[in-house]
Amino acid sequence: MKALITGCNGQLGKALLASLPDGCDAVALDRTSLDLTDAAAVYERVSREAPDLLLNAAAYTAVDKAENDEATARAVNVDAVAAMARAMKAGSGRLVHVSTDFVFDGSSARAYRPEDARNPLSVYGKTKADGEDAAGTDALIVRTSWVYSAGGANFVRTMLRLMRERDTLGVVADQIGTPTWAPGLASVLWGLAAREARGVYHHSDAGVASWYDFAVAIHEEALAIGLLDRPVTINPIATAQYPTPAVRPAFSLLDTSATRALLEAPAVHWRTHLRTMLKKEQGLV
């Protein structure tokens, strides 16, 4: 099987390459080898490569910047995806597209199911929702949330840096979701693709957290293994105390039961994966 992986230098792209299934040859593309703002170039390259599977791990993810850069966000998150879908359909391959919890508005009283109505609050969320539509009904679309990995640019590593620099931090406590470890997400994508799944699925780690809960856990686990050498004070704050250009959903927990049932595997709790990630940061595993 030939797989084409976009966004190969990102957290998920690296995890996908690190977990290639046996018998799978991969073509890995980053932003220097494929300009995702050029839909024609995307179509031409995908058509030329003619992969059996295209895993689109690339996206415009600068949530706040997108509020004033919608054209670029839409080019990457929508137009490029549409070009991928057209090329894969013409070549009889399958598209695996990664989406986000930001397609929801956070008003649900329960975890969001794949079939729930979308109502994005930000430009980023809107372009990702439109990107799902552009991927089409033949694609496998996997929504996820709060992705992080060792060595990546993410909330965990930002918190570690701030905890080393400051004595006190304020972290938002009224946005609820679930962290997701990139290698775990990669494993789910390969697993769903192997089962020839199509349509929309959800994946995040098990459990529930606010960003404040996540930060407290990072602090506790990092202290326990010596990744931090001193404790700091972490205070819960409201979203209103930390205004951002883009509006985030206050609640974006994803119902992953259909994914777990298809893969016949329970989800791993986010704190378990956090421990593994921090040990990797320290070089212990």
DSSP codes joined into one string, 124-190: HHHHHHHHHHHH-TTSEEEEE-SEE-TTSSSHHHHHHHHHHH-SEEEEE-S-EE--EEHHHHHHHHH
Q: What is the DSSP letter of 63?
A: T
Sign of the Cα torsion 63, 65, 66, 68 reads positive
CA nearest neighbour of 79 among 106, 56, 110:
56
**pLDDT over threshold 70, residue 255:** yes
**pLDDT over threshold 60, residue 284:** no
Domain ranges of the chain: 2-153+178-207+252-267
pLDDT at 31: 87
pLDDT digits over 30-65, tens only? 989 999 999 999 999 999 999 999 999 999 999 999
Task: Please indicate whether residue 285 or residue 277 has the higher confidence score (pLDDT).
Answer: 277
Rounded mean pLDDT, 128-138: 96
pLDDT at 65: 97
Rounded mean pLDDT, 226-243: 94
Q: How far lies 181's CA from each of 111, 128, 188, 272, 283, in Å?
A: 19, 20, 11, 10, 17
CA nearest neighbour of 85 among 31, 38, 137:
137
Write out the two tokens for 279. 């040990």
pLDDT at 48: 93
Q: Is 43 a catalytic residue?
A: no
**Dihedral Cα 132, 133, 134, 135, nearest 10 deg:** 50
Between CA 259 and CA 114 the distance in angstroms is 10
Between CA 285 and CA 178 the distance in angstroms is 24
Which of 71-80, 181-190, 275-284 is least confident?
275-284
Between CA 256 and CA 192 the distance in angstroms is 13
**pLDDT over threshold 60, residue 285:** no
Between CA 285 and CA 280 the distance in angstroms is 5
CA angle 136-139-140, nearest 5°?
130
Rounded mean pLDDT, 157-178: 96
pLDDT digits over 188-230, tens only? 999 999 999 999 999 999 999 999 999 999 999 999 999 999 9
Between CA 147 and CA 49 the distance in angstroms is 28
Rounded mean pLDDT, 137-143: 96
Cβ pair 87, 138 in contact under 8 A: no
Rounded mean pLDDT, 132-152: 95
pLDDT digits over 169-190, tens only? 999 999 999 999 999 999 999 9
pLDDT at 146: 96
pLDDT at 271: 97
pLDDT digits over 79-124, tens only? 999 999 999 998 889 999 999 999 999 999 999 999 999 999 999 9
The residues near 104 (Cβ < 8 Å, ≥ 6 apart) are 112, 116, 118, 119, 120, 125, 249, 252
Q: Which CATH class is domain 2-153+178-207+252-267?
A: alpha beta
How big is the chain by its Cα radius of gyration, in Å? 19
The catalytic residue among 124, 148, 201, 212 is 124
pLDDT at 267: 87
